[in-house]
Structure 1
Amino acid sequence: MRQKKAVTRELRDRYRKSSKKEKTIMLDEFIRLTRYSRSYAARALRLKEVLGYMNIRGKRVRLVRDKRKIKRKKKKIYDEGVLVALKEIWKICDYICSKRLAPFLSEIIPALERWGEINLSAKVREKLFKISAATIDRLLTDTRKRYRIKGRSTTRPGTLLKKSIPIRTFADWDEAKPGFFEADLVSHDGGAVRGDFIQSLNFTDISTGWEEMIAVKNKAQRWVFSGIETIKERLPFSILGIDSDNGAEFINAHLIRYCEEHKITFTRSRPYRKNDSCFVEQKNWSVIRRAVGYARYDTDKELSILNELYVYLRLYVNFFQPVRKLIKKERIGSKVIKRYDEAKTPYRRVLASPDIEDEIKMKLKSQYAMLNPAELKRKITKLQDKLLKLNALKQKVREDLLQKSVEPSSRFEYIST
């Protein structure tokens, strides 16, 4: 027994200082030598060094020496001042993810300071320029909220002219060059696909991520074509290609003839393959749905508010919403590893493109200098509130009319007033 205690005292200090692998080897040897159980052996080696015993109030107390390292308290770098400023900037940037926000801070902070929207001390400003995406995630954990809402598709196939429009292949388009757009319609039916309701026409440039949107009365070809012409006038660069789904609002002779006259490559995606239009499908949710939701919009007043909102939203998204692009995808067994480039706004990607003329870039720079991101965000929020109140009023009137059994033809006369 004395020998076992002597061996235990001898190994105890070495055991505490050893690594995990070394502890395993030492424990195996100790068990073979002493015939202790593994649990008791580990406990015996973990015990602190006994210095002696003393009586305290009639009780025998063992005195031990604790040789554990005192954990050093790390000085907090990102304090409350940084967190308050970060939350304000994150709110102005529409609560984007940390990997998009971190590289964008060096651009958005000077813009907000220029317009007097924020006032940062030199220390807070320096810390925000150095902060990483992981630290942003850690600081915003308690305030982040996520909403996931699924939508529905109202695309109806246009079969007569499908053969006239080729299915897009990646060999046909130069996707590194700005001007090749994916187009789609977002339905504002409110869950009831009956009658006419407003549609949002969405155009997304594959190369730069430049986004243009406009609300149209319904899916009729005349309104969709009119929306395309309006978008064409707003764009800072020319349309070189349009890729749409197989809906009759796009697959029609009028649009084919228009594309042929203006030398625009017109292609379509494969039926029931949403990934063929992945760029615009992503923007349908991240831009349109996040801005206007899933309510039913079917009146002229709502159409006017939506288009006014989109005027500010297109500027906010293109100039102040950084996006990341997939540059590499690698499969290792069942795992797919994706690599993305650094987050940049569509505006910055247009400036970096060698295919855009210098004159266009100068106009964009002048426009950017006149934009206040916080003011744009306030105008968008104001119009969103106005749209929600109008929609709620419409729903209330509809319920009252249904209860009184009023003829449907007079349901929305109040809107025009």
Structure 2
Amino acid sequence: MIVTLRTERIRTLDEVRAFLEGSEPVDFTLNDRDSAHLLVRRSLERFRYHRLGKRDKGLVKAYLAKVTGLSRAQLTRLIAQHKRTGHIRDRRGKPPANAFQRRYTPGDAALPAEVDVAYGRLSGPATKEVLRRRYEVHGDGRFERLAHISNGHIYNLRKRRDYRLGALSLDKTRPVQVSIGVRRKPDPDGRPGFVRVDTVHQGDRDGEKGLYALNVVDQVTQFEHIGAVIRITEIFMLPVLEDLLTAFPFQVRAFHADNGSEYINHHVAGMLNKLHIGQFTKSRPRHSNDNALVESKNGAIVRKWLGRAHIPAECAPAVNDFLRDHLCPFLNFHRPGVTFEQLDRLAASASGLQAAKSVREARRRLFHSLDPAASVA
């Protein structure tokens, strides 16, 4: 490696400064990185760099950066190496001078693969216990170094090539893709028949589940039907849900639910197909307003009329009769400011005040039958 430099005249800091300002022409040729390292070492020794002040050190470093093409970060590392060892050596592609000693050999990495093949890849703690027992209980000397391995290092060994060569071909867990329903917010465009659905649970008591209320609301007209079921399984839900959907005085075109499994399943999808409801949509992740309409009705209507107290599941038929025969007609036909021409006769059969009093009386009788000691306003 040849270093041809005409820098013999640059022996003082003033000459370095003149060179950097461009007033002192100097020709040089650097053949490779070793030549640059040699120039750096000789310059540090010529200018006694480590004894200079901060400003003069910066001057020398700027000079070396210009004539070698090395970055300031590279020069900082080389200068630190020279100060520490008195030499500058290129260690690229070579093992570190003070490498950590490997505790586990390539053969050790193959042993967890043998265990995983036999056991089907257990969790870290379970694998650790198997490795320990192989040495301490069964006396297998191959597992001596692995007997006290940490959970984390088991996963490190599983990343090694020696492990992968002997282990099973394992795929990552894949999320279940549910193809039922389209994940988007429905767009009724001012048309009735785009309904939202949600479930309200009437609490638990002493480990006993309460009944569930199914709340279905049309997005445009705010028409609402509510039913009650013992459990949110298809055997109880489907008949009531079908009654609620067919009770609307217009064609239901679209059905929207959150991602609850009581609605996102093939049984509900089949029922919607039977009723010729063309759109089945479900809420999007991180879009809490997709089903906000019916969720607001849960509090404003269901909780207002049924309360928050526990209602036993076996009372679902009686509560469902009350909702169907009294509350839903009142909500839909006697709501202030809402009229339907095709329902004039039904709406005119009683005034809004009379309908409200009738619903309250029916609710009083319902809750008295559930708990004679309860008083409902």
Please give the TM-score of this superposition, normalised by the length of structure 2.
Answer: 0.48
Please give the TM-score of this superposition, normalised by the length of structure 1.
Answer: 0.43
Higher relative contact order (CA closer than 8 Å, sequence separation 6+): 1
Larger radius of gyration: 2
